[in-house]
Amino acid sequence: MIGLVLLLSACNSDRPEPAEVHLPTTGLRLSVTRIATHPFLARYRLTLGIEGPQGCTGTAELFPDTGYVGRRNVYQQASGAITVLGQYDARVIDPDSCTIRLVEFQSLTGQATFLGAFDVDAQKRWRYFPSAVRAERPFEKH
């Protein structure tokens, strides 16, 4: 019986784990929802959701977290666009039309302000960390 309890406590839940942030400078509300896709391994499906100031919405499937690569850094471009950057993908969000575009890393030029990151905390819970709470952690390019 104890073994069953230990086994079940080690399993990943397939319940959605949403984390969200409101970005007052753009009026956007961003969320990244994480859902386990494997009962024991750190494998997750990630979905980006946005809600704009005029009520527009959009969603996009992000590159999955295939083993501790789920973190997504959030930046604001000088143009006002928001960039959600992962280890293997980059998305640009137009706050006026709620469009989400997959872009090449090389197309991300110019100065951007780091706003925060979607990541796990010390207890492995999915959440958003504003830049005032956690400094920018760049991605290692392999």
Q: Do 51 and 98 contact (CB within 8 A), yes or no?
A: yes
**pLDDT at 7 > cutoff 50:** no
What pTM was computed for the model?
0.87
Backbone Cα Rg of the chain: 16
State residue 3's pLDDT score: 46
State residue 2's pLDDT score: 54
**pLDDT at 15 > cutoff 50:** yes
- Cα-flanking dihedrals φ and ψ of residue 10, to 5°? -85, -10
**pLDDT at 11 > cutoff 70:** no
